């Protein structure tokens, strides 16, 4: 493996890790606050991607400026997160917070089945492409390698912005403080007048938007296909579990670790590409059963 | 009374080829799937859901395919023993890892393992035939080679006997101290540890057992289909097993059979009409069952009696 190839693998890994982080951080945020692992998170990712492809494709077909596809990506993500995520929390999850964790898992799994099917009914099975944002940003040269600016500048910047924004939101704003309070102790938070239901709703919608954003931002770099949601849910779970479920900062590191390892596997041993993320997860969990940054707690997970 | 019903049911099942000859194949598939669902059912006793038992199902089918390649016409009984060993050992290896976890981690780690197997089966097409899968040769039985129609009948009885034996084993297992300990994993692990039993080991035993059940189901399923394909370990397959187990109800082993039969029959007749929206319907039904009839199909009569008869009947813990 030459240095150039290693560098390309590294860049691939970073761009992939950025997307992985966006989805995984949504999953981990929802788990941290609501205590529910949303299996349908992968579907939100896939629907976000389909929405972005549809909206972006429509804009391009109408002959609008390709730069407009950037706001279209954001719009698709927010629309998906608010509508699908909002409806899901409001009408389904709200009924099951008090139930057995097994049942919660089964319910989100059922939603996943439903959404996968709805996706297929709406968008069919043919792949969708939308490469305008990729072309609009062009290429940049880095140590003698030409790489798309979208993947190597835009995506990591978005991931870091999300990370910093989320940190700021949770630690320095009132709404964030409420979320943290409910996570720490729901009863105490309710007793001082915080509406826990609203906090759950807002958190879930934010998490859903992050998943959809991961999907929307992935659209220019890959073709949108059925099945991408199923792959993403296990991958983002692998990231969240490696970091320690509920840990936001750790998710960035875990995403980088898994993303880079995966892209190196692509260049060195392509057959092991799919194994890599899980191999890392299993090894880390064997070493630290609660993940890299997971706090040891009485058996809950 | 219950024994009479059970005996009547068994007689009806064993004479099915003579009463409803056309239903032999679908009945065989029902028995095969019921075996895998039985595996999920065992784990549900401990309150754990596996979203990845398709991997053992696939292991059973692929094992049959490989032995067919190596031995031409392997003996059915040898094949059975081999599959028990293979799925048992793979269940032990994966179980050693996943039995340290509960609930979310348990479910998702199983899902992850099955997705890895799916991806490998698709990728390593030199060994596995990729997406097209592998043909499974028709096995022989103690030197006897089957013709096409003989084989269907033989498979029917093979799957039926296997299912009856396994259902009996699960029933005995759940009544044994080990099975009682398994239920305690769900209720209160700390107490279990206080009486000197390891919760992880209890779950591991159940996991290996459930892996063998799923493996045998996969073997029977593969033999009937004559084909082993990667989608045997796709998440939809594992999801289906969980769905059927919950639909049937986790209170009784007989729920497994009832759930599988209802599921497969509905699917058999509705699939042609609803092929596009099959999963949609499954998902919605699953949500409805969980929210309205948590005890499943098997608990339905008791619930109805309670609702209409006024008398409170105890529908749970009949297994």
Contact flag B108-A118 (C-beta cutoff 8 Å): no
With an 8 Å Cβ cutoff, is B183 touching chain A? no
- State what percent of residues in chain A have pLDDT above 90: 5
B132 CB contacts (<8 Å, ≥6 apart)? Answer: B229
Whether domain B23-280 has CATH 2.40.10? no
Candidates A292, A276, A273; CA nearest to A284 is A292
Cβ atoms of A159 and A25 within 8 Å: the answer is no
Residue B209 has pLDDT above 50, yes or no: yes
Tell me how far apart the alpha carbons of residues A31 and A230 are, in angstroms, rounded to a whole number. 18
Is residue B286 classed exposed, middle or buried when 0-12, 13-18 and 19+ CB atoms within 10 A define those classes? buried
Task: Please report which confidence band the pLDDT of residue B277 belongs to, taking 50, 70 and 90 as the band edges.
Answer: confident
Helices (H) and strands (E) in chain A, counts: 14, 2
CA distance A241 to chain B (A): 8
**Nearest residue, CB atoms, A105 vs list B49, B97, B123:** B49
Cβ of A121 within 8 Å of Cβ of B280? The answer is yes
CB contact under 8 A, B120 and A275: yes
Q: How confident is the model at residue B61 (pLDDT cuts 50, 70, 90)?
A: very high
Closest-CA distance, B136 to chain A, in angstroms, reads 25
Reported as a pLDDT band with limits 50, 70 and 90, residue A181 is confident
Mean local confidence (pLDDT), B227-245: 84
- Please give the pLDDT value at position B9: 79
Average confidence (pLDDT) over B5-27: 78
Q: What is the mean pLDDT of residues B218-242?
A: 86
Mean pLDDT of B11-23: 76
What are the φ/ψ torsions at residue B227 (nearest 5 degrees)? -150, 140
Flag if A237 and B108 touch (Cβ within 8 Å): yes
Residues of B with CB below 8 A from A278's CB? Answer: 112-113, 115-116
Average pLDDT over residues A45-68: 83
b (16+ CB within 10 A) / e for A199-231: bbbbbbbbbbbbbbbbbbbbbbbeebbbebbbb
Ranges assigned E (strand) in chain A: 139-142, 145-148
Strands A145-148 and A139-142: antiparallel
Structure confidence at residue A295 (pLDDT) = 64
Query: Residue B46: closest CA among chain A residues belongs to which residue?
Result: A102
- Chain B nearest CA to A248, separation (Å): 18
A142 three-class SS: strand
What's the pLDDT band for A54 if we cut at 50, 70, 90?
Answer: confident
Q: How far is B257 from chain A (nearest CA, A)?
A: 20
ipTM beyond 0.85? no
Does residue A201 or residue B254 have the better pLDDT? A201
What is the number of CB-based contacts under 8 A between chain A and chain B?
110
> DSSP E strands: which ranges in chain B?
134-135, 140-141, 144-145, 227-228
Of the CATH numbers 2.60.290, 1.10.3470, 1.25.40, 1.10.1760, which one belongs to the domain with range A3-287? 1.10.3470
More confident residue, A272 or A251: A251
Residue of A nearest to B96 (CA): A286
Residues on chain B touching A117 (C-beta within 8 angstroms): 276-280, 283
Of A106, A245, A278, the CB nearest to B286: A106
Residue in this structure with the two tokens 């209890």, named with its chain if needed = B202
Highest-scoring range by mean pLDDT, A115-119, A269-273, B10-14, B270-274 = A115-119
User: How far A66 CA sits from the closest chain B CA (Å)?
Assistant: 35
Inter-chain contact B284–A286, Cβ cutoff 8 Å? no
Average pLDDT, chain B: 81
Q: Residue A66 pLDDT > 80, yes or no?
A: no
B113 contact A CB<8A: yes
Cross-chain residue pair B103–A105, CB shorter than 8 Å: yes
Average pLDDT value for chain A: 83
What does the DSSP assignment read for B211-272? HHHHHHHHHHHHHHHTEE-GGGGSHHHHHHHHHHHHHH-SS-HHHHHHHHHHHHHHHHHHHH
pTM (predicted TM-score): 0.81
The pLDDT value given to residue B225: 86
Place of tokens 């899902």: B111
SS3 label, residue A294:
coil
Number of helices (H) and strands (E) in chain B: give both, helices first.
15, 4
Q: Is the backbone of residue B250 left (phi > 0), alpha (psi -120 to 50) or beta?
A: alpha
In degrees, rounded to 5, the angle at the alpha carbon of residue A114 between the alpha carbons of residues A81 and A246 is 50
CB contact under 8 A, A278 and B286: no
Percent of chain A past pLDDT 70, that is, above it, reads 97
From the list B173, B168, B171, B197, the residue with the least C-alpha distance to B184 is B197
pLDDT, tens only, A28-52: 888 888 888 888 898 999 999 998 8
The B residues from 161 to 180 touching A (CB cutoff 8 Å) are: none
Whether residue B107 lies within 8 A of chain A, CB to CB, comes out as: yes
State residue B275's pLDDT score: 67
């Amino acid at each position: 493996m030459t240095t150039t190839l290693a560098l390309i693998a590294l860049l691939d890994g970073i761009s992939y890790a950025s997307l992985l982080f966006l989805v995984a951080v949504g999953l981990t945020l929802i788990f941290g606050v609501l205590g529910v692992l949303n299996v349908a998170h992968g579907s939100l990712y896939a629907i976000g991607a389909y929405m972005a492809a549809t909206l972006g494709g429509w804009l391009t077909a109408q002959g609008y400026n390709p730069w407009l596809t950037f706001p279209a990506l954001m719009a698709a993500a927010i629309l998906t997160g608010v509508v699908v995520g909002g409806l899901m929390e409001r009408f389904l999850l709200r009924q099951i917070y008090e139930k057995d964790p097994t049942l919660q898992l089964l319910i989100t799994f059922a939603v996943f089945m439903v959404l996968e099917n709805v996706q297929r009914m709406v968008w069919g099975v043919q792949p969708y492409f939308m490469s305008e944002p990729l072309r609009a940003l062009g290429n940049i040269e880095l140590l003698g390698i030409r790489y798309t600016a979208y993947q190597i500048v835009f995506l990591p910047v978005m991931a870091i912005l999300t990370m910093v924004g989320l940190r700021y939101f949770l630690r320095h704003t009132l709404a964030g403080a409420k979320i943290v309070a409910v996570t720490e102790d729901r009863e105490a938070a309710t007793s001082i007048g915080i509406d826990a239901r609203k906090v759950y709703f807002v958190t879930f919608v934010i998490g859903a938007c992050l998943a959809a954003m991961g999907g929307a931002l992935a659209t220019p770099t890959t073709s949108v296909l059925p099945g991408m949601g199923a792959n993403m849910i296990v991958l983002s779970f692998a990231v969240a579990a490696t970091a320690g479920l509920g840990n936001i900062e750790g998710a960035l590191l875990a995403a980088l670790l898994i993303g880079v390892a995966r892209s190196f596997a692509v260049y060195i041993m392509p057959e092991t590409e799919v194994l890599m993320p899980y191999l890392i997860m299993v090894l880390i969990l064997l070493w630290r059963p609660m993940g890299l940054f997971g706090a040891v707690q009485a058996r809950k997970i | 009374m219950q024994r009479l019903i059970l005996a009547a049911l068994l007689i009806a099942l064993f004479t099915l080829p003579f009463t409803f000859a056309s239903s032999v194949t679908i009945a065989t598939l029902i028995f095969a799937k019921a075996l895998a669902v039985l595996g999920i059912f065992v784990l549900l006793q401990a309150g754990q859901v596996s979203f990845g038992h398709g991997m053992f199902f696939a292991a059973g089918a692929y094992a049959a395919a490989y032995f067919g390649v190596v031995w031409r016409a392997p003996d059915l009984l040898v094949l059975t023993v081999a599959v028990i060993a293979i799925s048992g050992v793979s269940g032990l290896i994966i179980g050693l890892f996943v039995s340290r976890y509960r609930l979310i981690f348990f479910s998702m780690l199983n899902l992850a393992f099955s997705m890895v197997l799916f991806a490998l089966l698709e990728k390593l097409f030199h060994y596995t035939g990729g997406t097209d899968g592998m043909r499974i040769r028709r096995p022989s039985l103690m030197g006897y080679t089957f013709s096409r129609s003989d084989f269907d009948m033989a498979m029917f009885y093979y799957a039926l006997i296997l299912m009856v034996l396994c259902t009996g084993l699960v029933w005995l297992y759940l009544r044994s101290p080990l099975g009682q300990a398994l239920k305690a994993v769900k209720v209160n692990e700390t107490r279990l540890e206080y009486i000197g039993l390891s919760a992880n080991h209890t779950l591991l035993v159940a996991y290996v057992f459930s892996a063998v059940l799923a493996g045998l189901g996969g073997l029977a399923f593969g033999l009937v289909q004559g084909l082993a394909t990667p989608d045997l370990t796709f998440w939809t397959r594992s999801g289906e097993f969980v769905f059927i187990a919950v639909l049937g109800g986790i209170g009784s082993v007989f729920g497994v059979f009832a759930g599988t039969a209802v599921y497969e029959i509905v699917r058999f007749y509705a699939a042609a009409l609803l092929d596009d929206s099959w999963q949609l319907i499954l998902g919605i039904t699953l949500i409805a069952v969980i929210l309205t009839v948590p005890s499943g199909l098997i608990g339905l009569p008791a619930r109805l009696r309670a609702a209409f008869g006024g008398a409170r009947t105890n529908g749970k813990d009949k297994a």
